[in-house]
A and B are shown apart, each in its own frame.
Chain A
Amino acid sequence: GENVEQHPSTLSVQEGDSAVIKCTYSDSASNYFPWYKQELGKGPQLIIDIRSNVGEKKDQRIAVTLNKTAKHFSLHITETQPEDSAVYFCAASIEAGNMLTFGGGTRLMVKP
């Protein structure tokens, strides 16, 4: 089955700096890669996703890149703000709506 690894497990940045979180996956059949933000005591919220026919996708301060050959994808957050502090999870599945395999999560702390 699919295995998703996520690094780093914790990340501390200064407000205004950029944050990068990286994930690798094992199953070449995976074609859909969402990123979720989870605040304490809440369910995960989708922040951006990418499909395998696209190499990069951007939404304001958030971008995701995908290297299907190397089987890795990354989340980039620019101009970080304290409200970006949360746990971020990457995930992979064969197609959107199907079973997701999650990475271990990254706790992002943005210091004001």
Chain B
Amino acid sequence: GAVVSQHPSRVICKSGTSVKIECRSLDFQATTMFWYRQFPKQSLMLMATSNEGSKATYEQGVEKDKFLINHASLTLSTLTVTSAHPEDSSFYICSASHRDRAFGTQYFGPGTRLLVL
């Protein structure tokens, strides 16, 4: 159990376009989902925390108007990179916390590799 999926797994887009990434908890309800960004050979950097039905909380330095997060249900959160530029190219990973705290921890998705040309 505790499977998190992401779609798409990789995407290539032109500069100036918007890209939407979906994160789904497949077999559990997630009250909280997290979005991370990871550059090559670096650690995961938290971008934002998303709670179902409320606005996301963004980390310092992350532009909320550029990285739009929607958490419309207990199993789905989306990250939209608006007006993408080459510097937005990165590996984006989501994670989800089980609604039942007894299960604990965060379960990570497989990641989405974004390349902006």
| A interface with B by C-beta (< 8 Å) | 32, 34, 36, 41-46, 49, 89, 95-105
Residues of B with C-beta under 8 A to A32 = 104-105
- Chain B residues near A (Cβ < 8 Å): 4, 6, 32, 34, 42-44, 46, 49, 93, 95, 97-98, 101, 104-111, 113
Which secondary structure dominates where chain B touches chain A? strand
Q: Name the A residues within 8 Å of B4 (CB-CB).
A: 43
Secondary structure of the A contact surface, majority rule? loop
Determine the chain A residues whose CB is within 8 A of the CB of B109 once the complex forms: 43
Q: Report which of B34, B44, B107, B113 forms a contact with A46, defined as CB distance below 8 A.
A: B107
The CA-CA distance from A97 to B104 in the complex, in Å, is: 5
Whether B104 lies near A42 (C-beta < 8 A) is: no
Cα distance A8–B6 when bound, in Å?
Answer: 31
Q: Is the CB of B44 within 8 A of A102?
A: yes
In the complex, the answer to whether A34 meets B105 with C-beta atoms within 8 Å is yes
> CA of A24 to CA of B19 in the docked complex: distance in angstroms?
37
> Which residue of B is nearest A42, CB measured?
B110
Q: Is the CB of B43 within 8 A of A43?
A: no
With beta carbons under 8 angstroms apart, the residue of B34, B110, B111, B113 that contacts A99 is: B34
For residue A56, give the distance in angstroms from its CB to the closest CB of chain B.
18
With a CB–CB cut-off of 8 A, which chain B residues contact A104? 42-43
A-B contacts, 25 listed (Cβ < 8 Å): A32-B105, A34-B105, A41-B111, A41-B113, A43-B6, A43-B110, A44-B44, A44-B93, A45-B108, A46-B105, A46-B107, A46-B108, A49-B105, A96-B97, A97-B32, A97-B106, A98-B97, A99-B34, A100-B34, A100-B46, A102-B43, A103-B43, A104-B42, A105-B42, A105-B43
